Amino acid sequence: MPKTNFGRACAALALGALVAGAAGCSTLGYYAQAAHGHLSMLAAARPIDDWLADPAAPAPLKQRLERARAIRAFASNELGLPDNRSYTAYADLKRPAVVWNVFAAPELSLQLKAWCYPLFGCASYRGYFDRGDAQALADELRAQGFDVYVAPVPAYSTLGWLDWLGGDPLLNTFIGYPDGELARMIFHELAHQVVYVKDDTVFNESFATAVERVGVRRWLAAYGDDAMRAEYARFEARRADFVELLLAYRRRLADAYASGTDAEKRERKRAVFEDLRREYERIKQTRWDGWAGYDRFFAQALGNAHLAAVGAYNDLVPVFEALLERQGGDLRRFYAEVKRLATLAKPERDAELRALAPAGAVVQRRLAHRAAGALAATPG
């Protein structure tokens, strides 16, 4: 790299490592791939107006970009999300995911391994721009006895820190989503620019998920037609069924690991995953009319990492939704309160979150586990 770009390259190196899931071992090669991957993505991005003016750009792509621009404006004007350069450009990466995140958990535990970066804290995954690199780490972790999940990721957030480089672009990995899902993705990633708490993936992801849910409801109410609302309702119902299924079996797995010998735990684990697959097939036929959108997930060799990872995005969503309701649905007041919570030490923050949780809700148990450290990530 030219010396004149050294300061910019160093900033991109550190921040690119973070946003790619790079919270960890200080190998220059790892950080270099993160920085190179992020900068390559930015180099491929062009402003939406350029794509719309390009006679060679396909008409369907132009239609999706117009829709994305309208969603982006709604995000800032109506939801109070950051008004910056993110999602004002588009890049075609020529691959199905922007990064692949690697999650890992011990054979008989739901405690996710974490990778820690000195400035930005820890995350319960490690991300790679190249699928082969992610698979190589997965193989290494499996050899150490971990259950591993390699998850393709359609988008990530630079938390607004790289707006000077153009922000986060729209990508081919999600631009073709149906309108409601496209809005969900944009709202979720912009929400990460509102609040980011070091070392608390569950807080960060659950907050963004809560924002995406209320945001899509409001966007569809304002601009959706009956067909769009019905389509998204089906998507959301199936997604809720899928998430609740995994959370329910994660609870069963936690109970299975609570006592007994390792041999007994292994047998219970085998039975839990067999039951999970059977229950998925039942739901698919009885509730989804055979819709097979999650078959690819269940085609994997499922393990602890798959069930532990789902909690990062959903465990505290009911709490944030209760907090929004307490603020009368006012998103700006809601963001201010979440920012206040973010300044607290984790024990104090969890105590306030527990007080907000609906009485008797499963989330109470999850917060108790957080307090006990049962679901905390293990640095490695």
Per-residue pLDDT tens for 243-299?
999 999 999 999 999 999 999 999 999 999 999 999 999 999 999 999 999 999 999
Continuous segment of H or E residues that includes residue 55: none
Report yes or no on 289 lying in a domain: yes
Domain count across the chain: 1
Lowest mean pLDDT among 26-30, 55-59, 143-147, 216-220: 26-30
| 354-369: pLDDT as tens digits | 999 876 555 555 555 5
Q: Tell me the pLDDT band of 349, cut-offs 50, 70 and 90.
A: very high
* Angle at the Cα of 66 from the Cα atoms of 63 and 70, rounded to 5 degrees: 140
Domain annotation covers residue 346: yes
| Residue of 99, 124, 129 lying closest to 32 (CA atoms) | 129
Helix intervals (H) in 20-130:
28-44, 48-53, 59-77
Distance CA 241, CA 246 (A): 9
Q: Lowest mean pLDDT: which of 31-40, 97-106, 205-214, 317-326?
A: 31-40
In a domain, 54, yes or no: no
Distance of CA 104 to the CA centre of its chain: 16
Instruction: Read off the pLDDT of each residue in 212-235 and give the average, rounded to a whole number.
Output: 95
CB-based contact 284:291 (threshold 8 Å): yes
Q: Which two tokens stand for residue 64?
A: 């999706």
The type of residue at 238 is: R
Question: Does any domain span residue 322?
Answer: yes
- Asked if residue 359 is part of any domain, the answer here is yes
Distance in angstroms (rounded) separating the CA atoms of residues 322 and 233: 21
Question: What's the domain range around 243?
Answer: 194-380
The predicted-structure confidence for 81-123, as pLDDT tens digits, reads as follows 999 999 999 999 999 999 999 999 999 999 999 998 766 678 8
Q: Using an 8 Å Cβ cutoff, are 337 and 328 in contact?
A: no
Q: Is 242 helix (H, G, I), strand (E, B) or coil?
A: helix
Structure tokens at 153: 């990721």
Burial call 214-244: b when 16+ CB within 10 Å, e when fewer: bbbbbbbeeebeeebeebbeebbebeebbbe
Instruction: Give the chain's mean pLDDT.
Output: 88
Helix 59-77 vs helix 201-223: crossing angle, to nearest 10: 110
* 272 falls within a domain: yes
Residue 75 lies in a domain: no
pTM for the structure as a whole: 0.85
